[in-house]
Amino acid sequence: MAILCKGPVDPLTATWQLSSPLFTACSARRRPDYKYPGQARQRPQKVKMGVTRHSQNGERRARRRKTTIATSKSLPAKGYADIVGMSKNSKNSDPYLPRNFKMEAAKVEEEKPVADVPERPSLQKHEFFFKVPRDYSKPLSSDKGSKTTLHAQIIRAKKGSAKGREARLSDFDPLPTFAYLCGGPGSAQDEGRHQVLTDHVVRNGFQLLLLDYRGTGGSEKLDLERIKDLQASSKDGSSEVVRAFQDTRQGNIVRDLEAIRLYLAASWPTSKHNTDATKLVLLGQSYGGWVAMLYAQRYPESVRGCLLTGGMPPIGASPIEVYNRLFDSVAKDNETFYNDASIRFGSTEDPRTLVLRIAKAILNRPGENKDKNRLSLTTFASMGRSLGEPDGASHLYAKLLKIDKALHDARGKESAASVALDGKTVFDAIDTHTFNKRLIYGVEHEMQCYVADKGGQSMWSAEEVRDDGKYSDRYAWVSAQSAAELDALAKRGSFYFLGEAFMPEHADDYAGLRALGGRKFAERLALAGQTEDLWDVARLKDNKVPIYSTIYPTDMYVDAKLAVRATALVGPSIRFKELDKASGLRHNAIRVATEQLLTVFKGLGCEYFDKTIR
């Protein structure tokens, strides 16, 4: 496997200018269509979005004329470059903050005393709650500023302190910071999930920063309780809720990271402020790669280097193109599931018969479980998200056997969703997306991952590809209304499972999404559009930050071909490797094959793990 560096720029993309949209759901070539719920098996009327490419270009040019990129020359002269660890000709720039803007360091709301890391005697952790502006254009120091709370943990090698168990981070020598950016959107950090990575980070002289993104984990969480408070405390509660979801997007996440970096940089001697000591090393997993790339683009002088694992964003691709590619990958995994007998542990049960029988039970036994969740064929089909994991086909088959048995043993006395299974219900066993716990992941997934132009919209793009794409016949079963219709469709071919996608039916099935407003709210949020332009081709091409990226050819969550294509838009400092299928590495390699993956990064020239990876 040869190491690949940045290839030649595609002749189409080489002509793009700064004022041109990288991609938009409202392209002149094809526009995603609005879809509203209609009667079963009837195609709802499609309404065009009414936004032209030329109007977007004009708006974008006007906006860029107004928001000239701020440089350090426009910043206060009172040593600001020294305070934040930037050169006096800094290239750090956020086009959505006012000219002459001075970023403030995050303010500590609470810092807990040093604590042990459970079952890790060589490590200690420092837990913080930071105050940062909800809107960075209105700092906390201003009269109009309002705050949001961020939760972060810093893990480092255990050291003694004269203050003992009452010691705080400032009582220890400062260390360079390695930030792990988890997938998402809407996911929180899991301290114990990446123990091998943590060991390598700490043994190489770093402290590990784990930040819960806005709206997740220990940060001010965007859950139903907070949504009710927003609705009750404002004249137009629904608009406040829309804004709350918009506030969780990548633009604010990278500002939060920079504010926390400024806080950590202040602990270093002034002589270290313009060195790598105060810069972050970022490792972005999946969606975390989107965050890492945007941070490197807007704050290049705050970044020492970026590592992306299954995290190269599909820059230049529309939502429809992305989903067409992803559905190709999902189709291959479906064929493996249905045709590879080795996944069945010796069972003679044909997966086609198994899936058909469960689908009939779901149709014949409608209703809710104890938590008010419903079970549609689409939510059942969404179990296919697990096919992208190592041994995902085997695990799915084993779970289907258990679900089938539970439904059979219940003998039709209750709804399929509420049948008991392993101390929970069949719905819980089928639920692979956990939308009730991750509202952001549901209603924001298409927008945050695949819409990159300000004002751009994506209205059920995954549904459009499912119902109108080349695999539509394999997904017709999710709209079936009777057992007889399922039997007829089964004769035409296998029932394909879905991959990672948010569908209108999910908004009806999940109790949390229904409480949020269901399809109506999801569509309102989509119509509100993207709040920022994410990718700036000119800045990306001028990138000097070292970027190391691993790309997985069988990745059903982040398309490999689009990832490789996107590397041509980044400056010469990016190095990437598209791994062989024989490597066995897939999207979650950072967790299940950490040392193997870090060895790949070392082969790309990454030196951050030299003490532990030989």
Residue 307: beta bridge partners? 283, 548
Query: The pTM is what?
Result: 0.84
Question: CA 138, CA 574: separation in Å to the nearest integer?
Answer: 35
CATH of domain 67-213+248-316+540-614: 3.40.50.1820
List, in order, residues 6 or more apart from 124 with CB less than 8 Å away.
114, 115, 116, 117, 155, 156, 157, 158, 159
Burial of residue 553 (CB within 10 Å: 0-12, 13-18, 19+) is: middle
Q: Which residues of the chain have pLDDT under 70?
A: 1-91, 143, 145, 235-237
Q: Looking at residue 38, what is its pLDDT? A: 41
List the structure tokens of 313: 């964003």
Q: Looking at residue 57, what is its pLDDT? A: 42
Q: Which ranges of 460-503 would DSSP assign to H, the alpha helix?
A: 461-468, 472-475, 483-490
Which run of H or of E encompasses 252? Answer: helix 250-265
List the structure tokens of 159: 């050291």
Q: How many CB atoms lie within 10 A of CB 110?
A: 11
Which run of H or of E encompasses 425? Answer: strand 424-425
Question: CA 93, CA 70: separation in Å to the nearest integer?
Answer: 6
Q: Collapsing DSSP states into helix, strand and coil, what is residue 88?
A: coil
Question: CA 179, CA 173: separation in Å to the nearest integer?
Answer: 18
> Residues 421, 428: contact at Cβ < 8 Å?
yes
C-alpha R_g of the chain:
25
> Residues 82, 67: contact at Cβ < 8 Å?
no
List the structure tokens of 246: 């918009």
Q: Looking at residue 510, what is its pLDDT? A: 98
> Residues 294, 318: contact at Cβ < 8 Å?
no
pLDDT in tens, 433-470: 999 999 999 999 999 999 999 999 988 999 999 999 99
Q: Which residue has the tokens 């949390």?
A: 512
Distance of CA 211 to CAs 129, 507, 608, Å? 10, 28, 20
- CATH 3.40.50.1820 maps onto the chain at 67-213+248-316+540-614
